[in-house]
Amino acid sequence: MNIKLDSDTISSMNVFSDVTSVVPRDCINSTDKIIFIVNQGQAGIAIGKNGTKTKMLQDMLKKTVLIIEYSDDPVKFLENILWPEKLVSGYVASNIEEGKKLEASVHGKINNSKLKLAKTLMQRYFNIISINIR
């Protein structure tokens, strides 16, 4: 994984780290929201009791803040991205000509922005080029 971060993103990651005492693994910064990826077991610490740290970050950064817990398992990582929707099942299919694909079954509706985020993160971390959600 070779991710390049700009100075605004690094600055946001430093603010995140100062507020939550958790060093983020990655950050995606857009105009209206900022997504922090944290290591396994760190999401609860980063969110804080009753979401206090998340609310503080939103006030400081003037953006909606999402915190997603990373997993080495692509299916578990997808489940973390799609939360609070429930992932019923999932598997990664690999085809030499077409690349890796992730097939998943979800209980609930996934909005387009969350699906776009899932596709971006799955490609960024696992080189999965396609996600098929039923």
Indicate if 11 and 65 belong to the same structural domain. Answer: yes
Q: Two tokens at 32?
A: 């209206």
pTM: 0.87
Confidence at residue 26, expressed as pLDDT on a 0 to 100 scale = 93
Instruction: Outline where DSSP puts E strands in the chain.
Output: 26-29, 33-38, 64-69, 86-95, 99-107, 128-133
Could you tell me the CATH number of the domain that includes residue 119?
3.30.300.20
The answer to whether position 120 is within a domain reads yes
The number of CA neighbours under 13 Å toward the Cβ of 27 is 22
The last residue of a domain, from among 69, 97, 116: 69
Q: Looking at the domain assignment, is residue 2 inside a domain?
A: no
Q: Are residues 58 and 107 in the same domain?
A: no
Q: Which domain holds residue 116?
A: 74-133
Q: Is residue 54 assigned to a domain?
A: yes
The answer to whether residue 124 scores a pLDDT higher than 70 is: yes
pLDDT at 62: 93
Q: By C-alpha distance, which of 42, 90, 89, 94 is closest to 67?
A: 42
Closest-CA residue to 57 (of 38, 79, 84, 81): 38
Q: Which of 32-46, 61-75, 79-93, 96-110 is the least confident region?
A: 96-110
pLDDT tens digits, one per residue of 22-63: 999 999 988 889 999 999 999 999 999 999 999 999 999 999
Identify whether residues 55 and 106 lie together within a single domain.
no
61 and 85 in a single domain? The answer is no
Number of domains the chain contains: 2
Q: Which residues pair with 131 in a beta bridge?
A: 102
Token pair in block for residue 3: 């991710």
Q: Is residue 37 part of a domain?
A: yes
Q: Is 49 left (phi over 0), alpha (psi -120 to 50) or beta?
A: beta
Domain presence at residue 1: no
User: Are 122 and 90 in the same domain?
Assistant: yes
